């Protein structure tokens, strides 16, 4: 949403076909803003639940020797933590941002398919309710890791695995409907004159993400259906004793799983592009190259899935292919980082909370990318595979990557959503505690991983004790600092504590007048009018 065009924004058009008061309003609403808000609240709830599970994991690993929980329960926590963070926190948050922002950014009155929009949200609380309910079933929750490799998840799983499979199916249906809605909205409801190459980058990244979702969600549905068949109907897709192949599971799962990790980062690229441009007070450098880089990342994401499988015994030619194609993804990603840094270069930068999160994103996401490049080297991956080095790598991509971008987006657009400014001091405290906590948590994991500590273990050898204590302290600092964020959002939206936001939210009052700009100006041409010297 350009800063200049905001004052003409349409009023909140309450077409929610139903009672105006209480829970029914939220149940029946077809308004994209209401639905976006519900997605964001669901994501926040999932983040806090998944975070509590991470607390259990890190408390158990604070020192060696069994301390708190049974090893089987520890495995349930690692599995549920991963599933809830991926499917419950990151993805719904991005869908919520898409619902709120895409219609406003392209000048549409709402999403194209409002009733489907409502349904795709309301499927999710039931899916997550079902997933969480497995914790209370006989045999406990799924305990086979968030990648649920067969035959561990088929032949040796607790009975609750069937509920887990059904839950995954429902989430997938929700994702596909949301993605169809995004594509139809962007294709058919852009304002007159808004060509594709004039769309805001957040809209572009979400359009590409939506195509990825439609392509890979049926693959996930396929693999969990094959699991269901193996468990209940006597097939042997993944059972070698019946002529099946456990490695087949990994191929099908990662053909979904690799594009999935890009689904969780592409919308972040759009968010960061907006924020860096605004707080550098410059147009984004290289808009066109950003669009093409995002598209090429999405295409390449389909041909690199077996880099998760270097150790399963694929042929040398396969290892070379997946090694080089994985390294190739570093090129468009490097283009994006270059463009962000160049946008900041010689800009009139200010460092409000969204910008701090955006800069941290660029720095820490780059660290995650570099460790990913290390993991792409097949012979080296034989050493890194299934160690804490891998845990460090993907948490550097997904926590300072996906999560920081979501937090940045909320701080950045919240004044537009509710008309009030959040408390900047609390925002800065939240940022610095998160930044210190996240690095304290995940940086030492590189070292214990390189020293040989395996992932997904409830206990470990004595030589890893010091680093693990540091990691656990960092995890609690990072987790608890999110309560500052929750309080800040609450006092701004429900507490009505913040000062009223202006039309140009991020204007810096310096006594100088803004230059008048002709209107309308193509979105990507500017973020805010330049200052007069």
Is 455 noted as a catalytic residue in this protein?
yes
DSSP annotation of 352: -
Is 260 noted as a catalytic residue in this protein?
yes
Which SS3 state, helix, strand or coil, does residue 500 take?
A: strand
Is 209 noted as a catalytic residue in this protein?
no
Question: Alpha-carbon distance 267 to 358, whole Å?
Answer: 13
Is 325 noted as a catalytic residue in this protein?
no
- Count the helix, strand and coil residues of the chain and give each as a percent rounded to the nearest 5: 70, 0, 30
Given the residues 16, 190, 281, 307, select the one marked as catalytic. Answer: 307
Is 258 noted as a catalytic residue in this protein?
yes
DSSP string computed for 390-406: HHHHHHHHIIIIIIHHH
Is 174 noted as a catalytic residue in this protein?
yes
For residue 515, give both structure tokens: 């230059």
Given the residues 58, 190, 282, 308, select the one marked as catalytic. Answer: 308
Q: Are 476 and 415 in contact (CB under 8 A)?
A: no
User: Which residues on adjacent β-strands are paired with residue 387?
Assistant: 454
Given the residues 26, 119, 122, 146, select the one marked as catalytic. Answer: 146
Which SS3 state, helix, strand or coil, does residue 318 take?
A: helix
Question: Alpha-carbon distance 393 to 533, whole Å?
Answer: 45
Given the residues 37, 167, 205, 333, select the one marked as catalytic. Answer: 333
Is 17 noted as a catalytic residue in this protein?
no
Is 308 noted as a catalytic residue in this protein?
yes
Q: Give the list of residues 6+ apart from residue 28 with CB closer than 8 angstroms, or none.
A: 16, 17, 18, 19, 118
Is 301 noted as a catalytic residue in this protein?
no
Given the residues 260, 352, 381, 528, select the one marked as catalytic. Answer: 260
Given the residues 251, 455, 491, 531, select the one marked as catalytic. Answer: 455
Given the residues 258, 281, 282, 393, select the one marked as catalytic. Answer: 258
Given the residues 16, 32, 81, 395, select the one marked as catalytic. Answer: 81
Is 346 noted as a catalytic residue in this protein?
no
Which SS3 state, helix, strand or coil, does residue 454 take?
A: strand
Q: Which of 160, 118, 165, 124 has its CA nearest to residue 142?
A: 160
Is 251 noted as a catalytic residue in this protein?
no
Given the residues 2, 153, 205, 273, select the one marked as catalytic. Answer: 273
Given the residues 160, 175, 185, 326, select the one marked as catalytic. Answer: 175
Given the residues 174, 280, 325, 481, select the one marked as catalytic. Answer: 174
Phi/psi at 338 (5° precision) = -60, -45
Is 15 noted as a catalytic residue in this protein?
no
Given the residues 100, 206, 254, 262, select the one marked as catalytic. Answer: 262
Q: Are 104 and 186 in contact (CB under 8 A)?
A: no
- Helix (H) and strand (E) counts in the chain: 18, 0
Given the residues 190, 336, 446, 524, select the one marked as catalytic. Answer: 336
Q: Are 351 and 508 in contact (CB under 8 A)?
A: no
For residue 335, give both structure tokens: 């283009």
Question: Alpha-carbon distance 61 to 465, whole Å?
Answer: 8
Q: Which of 400, 397, 371, 384 has its CA nearest to residue 455?
A: 384
DSSP annotation of 1: -
Given the residues 60, 110, 352, 381, select the one marked as catalytic. Answer: 110
* Per-residue CA distances from 423 to 55, 408, 426, 497 (Å): 28, 14, 5, 9
Q: Which residues are catalytic?
A: 81, 110, 146, 174-175, 258, 260, 262, 273, 307-308, 333, 336, 455
């Amino acid at each position: 949403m350009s800063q200049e065009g905001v004052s003409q924004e349409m009023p909140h058009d309450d077409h929610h076909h139903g009672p105006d008061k209480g829970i029914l309003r939220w149940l029946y609403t077809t308004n994209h803003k209401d639905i976006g808000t519900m997605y964001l609240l669901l994501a926040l709830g999932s983040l806090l639940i998944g975070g509590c599970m991470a607390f259990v994991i890190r408390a158990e690993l604070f020192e060696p020797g069994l301390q708190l929980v049974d090893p089987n329960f520890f495995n349930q926590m690692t599995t549920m933590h991963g599933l809830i963070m991926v499917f419950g926190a990151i993805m719904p948050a991005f869908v919520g941002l898409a619902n709120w922002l895409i219609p406003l950014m392209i000048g549409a009155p709402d999403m194209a398919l409002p009733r489907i929009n409502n349904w795709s949200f309301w499927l999710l609380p039931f899916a997550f309710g079902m997933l969480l309910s497995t914790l209370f079933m006989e045999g406990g929750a799924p305990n086979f890791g968030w990648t649920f490799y067969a035959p561990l998840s088929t032949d040796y799983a607790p009975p609750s695995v069937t509920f887990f499979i059904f839950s995954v199916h429902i989430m997938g249906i929700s994702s596909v409907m949301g993605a169809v809605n995004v594509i139809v909205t962007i294709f058919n409801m852009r304002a007159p004159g808004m060509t594709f190459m004039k769309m805001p980058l957040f809209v572009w990244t979400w359009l590409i993400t939506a195509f990825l979702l439609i392509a890979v969600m049926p693959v996930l549905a396929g693999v969990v259906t094959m699991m269901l068949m193996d468990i209940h109907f006597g097939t042997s897709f993944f059972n070698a004793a019946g002529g099946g192949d456990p490695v087949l599971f990994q191929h099908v799962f990662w053909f979904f799983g690799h594009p999935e990790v890009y689904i969780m980062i592409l919308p972040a690229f759009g968010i960061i592009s907006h924020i860096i441009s605004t707080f550098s007070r410059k147009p984004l450098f290289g808009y066109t190259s950003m669009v093409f880089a995002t598209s090429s990342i999405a295409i390449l994401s389909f041909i690199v899935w077996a880099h998760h499988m270097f150790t399963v015994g694929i042929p040398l030619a396969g290892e070379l292919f997946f090694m080089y194609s994985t390294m190739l993804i570093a090129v468009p990603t490097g283009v994006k980082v270059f463009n962000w840094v160049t946008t900041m270069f010689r800009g009139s930068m200010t460092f409000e909370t969204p910008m701090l999160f955006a800069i941290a994103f660029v720095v820490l996401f780059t660290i995650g990318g570099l460790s990913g490049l290390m993991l792409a080297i097949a012979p080296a991956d034989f050493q890194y595979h299934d160690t804490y080095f891998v845990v460090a790598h993907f948490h550097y991509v997904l926590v300072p990557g996906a999560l920081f971008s979501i937090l940045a987006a909320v701080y950045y657009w919240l004044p537009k959503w509710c008309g009030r400014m959040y408390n900047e001091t609390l925002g800065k405290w939240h940022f610095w505690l998160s930044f210190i906590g996240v690095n304290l948590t995940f940086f030492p994991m590189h070292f214990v991983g390189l020293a040989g500590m395996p992932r997904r273990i409830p206990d470990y050898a004595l030589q890893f004790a010091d680093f693990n204590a540091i990691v656990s302290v960092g995890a609690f600092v990072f987790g608890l600092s999110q309560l500052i964020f929750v309080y800040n959002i609450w006092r701004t939206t429900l507490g009505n504590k913040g000062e009223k936001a202006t039309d140009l939210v991020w204007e810096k009052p310096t006594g100088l007048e803004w230059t008048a700009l002709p209107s309308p100006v193509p979105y990507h041409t500017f973020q805010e009018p330049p200052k007069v010297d």
